Amino acid sequence: MPAHRVEQQAISIARFDVVGQDADAVTHFVRHVGLSDEQRNGFRSQDTLSMTHMGPPLERAGDLCPLHTRGTVPLTVDEIQQINVFVEELMLEYRAHNARESRQYVIRPHVRPERATDGTVVFYRFNCAGFVIEAYREAGIDLLVTSDDVIPPVSLATLINAYPDMASLLQNPAFRSRYELLGDGPWPVVLAGYVINALARQEGEIRALPHQPAAGDEYYPSRREGQAQT
């Protein structure tokens, strides 16, 4: 399958492959994803990779290490160019509107328009998974079903695994409400692991049909009920 865990053996990484990082305290829980900004042969888990990812802020050619997961679907030259244009235009929009970290980022939904006072969309905000999903959609590859009625609801404890740097803030209902996390949950949040699991399929299936996430897909390999573990 085109997704796997990055181990000690050397692997090749293509430009705009999806790469992920695990939570420190939860085995195989994918807490962050981004796009490889370079092609690398002989990459090992201890190496540093140049990435484009929504930190926040959106960062290009930023280094992220270690990496724990990689998902790939062979991209055409045109698809790579479409993703590149998407990233460049987004960065230009952020600079034009002085969009700092808090204005670039969302938790729920995975992407949200930021509008001017007249209602015009001036740029889009993303979580890390949403940035990857929408970049691939720009290239005509729909990785994941992202509607609220399909995304599995997740608890506050799961969100804290995904956002450990915000653990104390997420305990505050007022802070959660700023990110459309109303009440005590659970909430339909697009998590990073869903993107890696979307790529744990054959290329033809990835291109033909978006992945429908289920509880357990926040991990890679998935821990969804009835799925064999490796």
Instruction: Identify the three-state secondary structure at position 222.
Output: coil
pTM value surpassing 0.85: yes
pLDDT tens digits for range 157-208: 999 999 999 999 999 999 999 999 999 999 999 999 999 999 999 999 999 9
Q: What average pLDDT does the structure give for the chain?
A: 93
57 pLDDT higher than 60: yes
- Cα 82 to chain centroid, rounded: 18
Give the span between the Cα atoms of 207 and 201, in whole angstroms: 10
The reported pLDDT for the residue numbered 230 is 44
Provide the pLDDT confidence category of residue 226 given band limits of 50, 70 and 90. Answer: low
> pLDDT by residue (tens digit) across 65-83?
788 999 999 999 999 999 9
Unique residue bearing structure tokens 């540093």: 48
What pLDDT sits at residue 143?
98
Q: Which amino acid is at 63?
A: D
Task: Report the half-sphere exposure of 172 (CA within 13 A, side-chain side).
Answer: 8
**Furthest-apart CA atoms within the chain: distance in Å:** 54
Band (pLDDT 50/70/90 cuts) for residue 129 is: very high
For residues 225 and 103, what is the distance between their CA atoms, to the nearest angstrom? 37
What are 64's two structure tokens?
């992220």
Are 200 and 222 in contact, with CB atoms under 8 Å apart? yes
Give, in degrees to the nearest 5, the angle at Cα 186 between 217 and 111.
70
